[in-house]
Amino acid sequence: MNKNHQTIGYLPDETPSLPKLLLYALQQVIVMFPATVAVAIITGFHISTTIFASGLATLCFLLITGRKIPLYYGSSFSYVAAIVGLMSSDALSGYVLNDKIAIAQFGIVMSGLISIAAGFIVNRFGRESIEKILPAAVTGPIAMVIGLTLAGNAMLDASSISIDTMGTISVAESQVELATNMAWIISLVTLLSTILFSVYLKGFWGQLPLIMGPALGCLTAFIIKLATGIDLFKVLPAGANTGIFAPPVFTLPKPSWLGLISIMPIAIATIPESTAHVYQLDIYVNDLARKKNSQKKYNIADLLGLNLIGDGIGDIVSGFIGGPAGTNYGENISAMAITKVFSVPVLIAAAILAMIISWFTPLVNAIYSIPAAVIGGLEIYLFGAIAAQGVAIMLEKKTDMFSSKNIAIIATIMVIGVGGQYAFGGNIPFFGLDVPCVAGAAIFGIILNWILNLGEKMRKSDDTAQV
Distance linking the first and last C-alpha atoms of the chain = 57
Taking residues 26-50, report their average pLDDT.
Answer: 83
Position 341 confidence tier, pLDDT thresholds 50, 70, 90? very high
Cα–Cα dist 331/347, whole Å: 13
Taking residues 336-354, report their average pLDDT.
Answer: 93
Taking residues 409-433, report their average pLDDT.
Answer: 89
Cα–Cα dist 326/344, whole Å: 19
pLDDT tens digits, 170-199: 788 888 899 999 999 999 999 999 999 988
Q: Report the share of the chain in percent with pLDDT over 90.
A: 39
Radius of gyration of the chain (CA): 22
Which residues, 6+ apart, have CB-to-CB distance to 269 below 8 Å?
78, 436, 438, 439, 442, 443
DSSP for 77-97, written as a single string: GGGHHHHHHHHTSGGGTTS-H
Highest mean pLDDT, choosing among 33-37, 216-220, 261-265, 451-455: 216-220
Q: What is the DSSP letter of 167?
A: -
Which residues, 6+ apart, have CB-to-CB distance to 79 below 8 Å?
108, 111, 263, 266, 324, 325, 326
Residue 5 in this model has a pLDDT that exceeds 60: no
Residue 108 in this model has a pLDDT that exceeds 80: yes
Cα–Cα dist 199/221, whole Å: 24
| Low-confidence winner among 54-63, 164-173, 175-184, 446-455 (lowest mean pLDDT) | 164-173
pLDDT tens digits, 225-246: 999 999 999 886 655 556 777 7
pLDDT tens digits, 325-335: 888 877 888 88
Look at residue 433 and give its three-state secondary structure.
Answer: strand
Cα–Cα dist 455/445, whole Å: 15
3-state SS record for 335-377: HHHHHCECCHHHHHHHHHHHHHHCCEHHHHHHHHCCCHHHHHH
Taking residues 93-103, report their average pLDDT.
Answer: 88
Any idea of the CA torsion for 100, 103, 109, 111, to the nearest 10 degrees?
Answer: -100
Residue 4 in this model has a pLDDT that exceeds 50: no
Q: What is the pLDDT of residue 450?
A: 92
Q: What is the pLDDT of residue 464?
A: 66
Residue 3 in this model has a pLDDT that exceeds 60: no
Which residues, 6+ apart, have CB-to-CB distance to 168 below 8 Å?
162
Q: Any idea where the domains of the chain sit in the sequence?
A: 10-455
Position 1 confidence tier, pLDDT thresholds 50, 70, 90? very low
Residue 427 phi, psi (nearest 5): -120, 115
3-state SS record for 295-308: CCCCCCHHHHHHHH
Residue 436 pairs in a beta bridge with: 427
Nearest to 327 by CA among 349, 312, 337: 312
More confident residue, 403 or 209: 403
Q: What is the pLDDT of residue 318?
A: 94
Q: Quote the Cα angle for 77-79-82, to 5°.
A: 130
pLDDT tens digits, 123-142: 888 777 777 887 889 888 88
Which pTM value belongs to this model?
0.75
Taking residues 352-366, report their average pLDDT.
Answer: 88
Position 316 confidence tier, pLDDT thresholds 50, 70, 90? very high
| Low-confidence winner among 12-16, 452-456, 461-465 (lowest mean pLDDT) | 461-465
DSSP for 143-155, written as a single string: HHHHHHHTHHHHH
pLDDT tens digits, 250-266: 999 999 888 887 777 67
CA contacts within 13 A on the Cβ side of 238? 1
Q: Quote the Cα angle for 302-107-124, to 5°.
A: 25
More confident residue, 165 or 103: 103
